[in-house]
Chains A and B, each alone.
Chain A
Amino acid sequence: MTEELLKVRGLRTAFHTEAGAWPAVDGVDFTLRRGEILGLVGESGSGKSVTGFSLVGLIDAPGEVVAGEVIFDGTDLRQLDEEGLRQLRGNRIAMIFQDPLMTLNPVLRIGEQMMEAIQTHAKVSNAEARTRCREALEKVGIASAESRLDSYPHEFSGGMRQRVAIAIAMLNNPDLIIADEPTTALDVTIQGQILYRMQEVCRTLNTALIWITHDLGVVAELADRVAVMYAGRIVETGPVSEILSAPRHPYTQGLLQSMPGIAQPGARLQQIKGMAPSLTKRPSGCAFRPRCPNAIARCAEQAPDITTEGSRSYRCYVPIARESVPV
């Protein structure tokens, strides 16, 4: 449980436009241990998905990973060529996307796509591959798995498709799964089923998981650690129990307070004023400054560095005092 699996240092991903290069991910650092579940939280445009994609080299032009290290089990993934990455992806590192229709090929039967995922990475007979596929489908709770292998993606409902995507991700017993908003489009009861499967799988196989989401509720229940992203940076990270009960960064606190369910029903929700800045109009200094209730002059001059306190860290000059915790 304590062995380090993934270490990301200074990751920067920029999108090149005629007006220059805009850093969607602007210096992200984090570490992930084997079997650990990290919730990567942020609003649209915070760079959380781009971070996930950057880790495995899935950034296409005009985007480019311009700096940083992604050390996965001792190897820097940024030094690997496309072939080296291909051997890792779908094998030791798997991804699950928000829209399973994007992952699944609409003109291939589920069984064919699943067997492809196995046979690309290992010499396995058709019969054995098919057996493994059937077992994988059973593991994610798909009934009559044997006959379902011959179905096409459109014959499944949204929740079942997502379970198929999870089954494919699990086929080669990966060390790391990167899941990008996999339950956002699903109903709560189906989301519950998916979370149940993911949790079970990660526990039994000691698979590390990066769960990219905007839903703090899911993170609270599922993850061991949380990293909150704002405007391309991780502004606060640490164990879920500490961060969500006693945030130090004003943005984390604002997010928590704007969730209905924390406030008394009917009371006004605490809101963060304004909206997240677009990639091309990030303010100088701390990007959260224009929306921050505690901003001081220094915040405009230079973006705050990381302050570490035990197992947690944050980027803020005027952090919220530990005592004044409303949550």
Chain B
Amino acid sequence: MKTEETPVIELRNVHKRFEHRPDLAQRILALAGRPIDRRTVYAVNGVDLAIRRGEVLGLVGESGCGKSTLGRVVAGLHHQTEGEVLFKGQHADQLRGAERLAYILGVQMIFQDPQASLNPRQRVRQILSEALKVHKLSPRAEIPARVDRALSEVGLDSEYRERFSHQISGGQRQRIGIARALMVSPSFMVCDEPVAALDVSIQAQIINLFMDLREQHGFTYLFISHDLGVVRHISDRVAIMYLGKIVEISTAAEIFARANHPYTQALLAEVPDIARRGRTFIPIKGEIPSPLAPPSGCTFHPRCPHVMPVCKEQAPPLDLIAPGHWSACHLNHA
């Protein structure tokens, strides 16, 4: 890797755990001597990641692997339990005042379900202008013009201004979600499964919109998806996540041509391919384990076809196996 400018977002050994807080009854029983059942979900388990300005980083994994939690940590919606989040080289926790605002507004999030992320009792113009009003970013008189501009950027007619979210179709609603993010002139977008709920023909429109916006504004994206086809199309680099850890990361071309980690290989084999006919399915066994009790050593070992004794004891480190290509697998040491 060449020496280069500070990444927009950098994560250093980030952990996020969700702990079950004992309720009143359990605390009373605890006084009487009953042990409290403290269950911890290890959602993100030590992630190092640097996202460079202008790149699209695809984050792929199955449900429950912690990819959405990681996205929320990046966007500042969750605070990490351990580790550091750096925004343009500065610790996000230590930012104050205008710098903190620059982080909060600069990193915007697009959610999977646009219906759930839009207030059903507000009209589109209220939804779009709220952040400007709250943060006093624009003189009131200019707000309608900015709303219209954001709508036209996402390809919507200004007549949508007066609509409620239930009067808009799914694909158009996702455009509203994107327009809302655009209102505060962000530089970084965390997109959490933004096209998963859309039909194929609409999905293509939204993906094209993301690419147009990137061209016009030079956005950096963290693009979270379980759909490898979409990720391959839009990403410069791809990170594969399994049970709270990044197991492989490289350029999109490298991942799809030379996947190293057995989990990545299995995922790639399972992606339905239009060019493949009458395939005989030979799936990988098992399911993603519960993040309440992750397996010892390499968390993929119970499903891995190449499992060795060492895998059950030691978690493999994320090694550089080729220029710009990291993978966490003991096979690379064998």
A residues sitting closer than 8 Å to B (CB atoms) are 43-44, 157-160, 187-193, 195-196, 199, 214-218, 220-222, 224, 240-241, 244, 254-256, 258-263, 265-266, 268-272, 275-276, 327
Contacts and interface: CB of A to CB of B under 8 A. Distances in A.
A157 B292 CA distance: 14
B62 interface: yes
A221 B278 contact: yes
Contacts of B285: 193
B134 interface: no
Contacts of A190: 62, 287
B63 A43 contact: no
B6 interface: no
Interface string B152-174: 00000000000000000111000
Leading 7 A-B pairs by shortest Cβ distance: A217-B272, A258-B204, A260-B233, A196-B281, A192-B283, A43-B199, A187-B62
B200 A221 contact: no
A244 to B, nearest CB: 6
A275 B171 contact: yes
B270 A254 contact: no
A221 B270 contact: no
A144 B284 CA distance: 19
A276 B199 contact: yes
A222 B279 contact: yes
Of B170, B208, B252, chain A has the most CB atoms within 10 Å of the CB of B208
Contacts of A189: 62, 266-267, 270, 283-284, 287
B233 A265 contact: yes
A256 B211 CA distance: 20
Given A193-B283, A196-B281, 14 more contacts: A189-B266, A192-B269, A199-B281, A216-B200, A217-B271, A240-B277, A258-B200, A260-B229, A261-B229, A269-B204, A269-B207, A269-B208, A276-B199, A327-B274
B125 interface: no
B272 A220 contact: yes
Contacts of B229: 217, 259-261
B202 interface: yes
B199 A259 contact: no
B224 to A, nearest CB: 14
Given A222-B279, A275-B202, A276-B199, A188 B273 contact: no
B226 interface: yes
B199 A192 contact: no
A195 B281 CA distance: 7
Nearest to B271: A188
Nearest to B280: A199
Nearest to A216: B274
A282 B274 CA distance: 30
Nearest to B235: A265
Nearest to A220: B274
A265 B269 CA distance: 18
A260 B271 contact: no
Contacts of B284: 189, 192-193
- B63, B228, B285: most-surrounded residue (chain A CB, <10 A): B63
B116 interface: no
Interface string B247-283: 0000011000000000000110111111111111111
A260 B201 contact: no
Nearest to A198: B281
Contacts of B253: 265
Contacts of B202: 43, 275
Contacts of B227: 260
A260 B274 contact: no
26 contacts: A44-B199, A189-B283, A189-B284, A190-B62, A191-B272, A192-B283, A193-B283, A215-B272, A220-B275, A221-B281, A254-B201, A256-B274, A258-B201, A258-B203, A260-B229, A261-B229, A265-B232, A265-B233, A265-B234, A265-B252, A268-B208, A269-B204, A271-B201, A275-B171, A275-B202, A276-B201
A157 B64 CA distance: 12
Given A187-B226, A256-B274, A275-B201, A263 B233 contact: yes
Contacts, number: 134
B230 interface: yes
B204 A191 contact: no
B205 interface: yes
A260 B226 contact: no
Nearest to B279: A221
A160 B288 CA distance: 12
B55 to A, nearest CB: 12
A163 to B, nearest CB: 11
Given A221-B276, A269-B204, A269-B208, A187 B171 contact: no
A241 to B, nearest CB: 6
Interface string B166-191: 00011100000000000000000000
Contacts of B171: 275
A188 B228 contact: yes
Nearest to B195: A260
B204 A217 contact: no
Contacts of B279: 221-222
A132 to B, nearest CB: 25
B274 A244 contact: yes
A261 B201 CA distance: 14
B233 A214 contact: no
A171 B282 CA distance: 23
Contacts of A218: 272
A262 B202 CA distance: 16
Contacts of B280: 199
A192 B281 contact: yes
A214 B208 contact: no
**Residue among A44, A214, A261 having the largest count of chain B Cβ atoms under 10 Å:** A261
Contacts of B266: 189
A214 B287 contact: no
Contacts of A221: 272-273, 276-279, 281
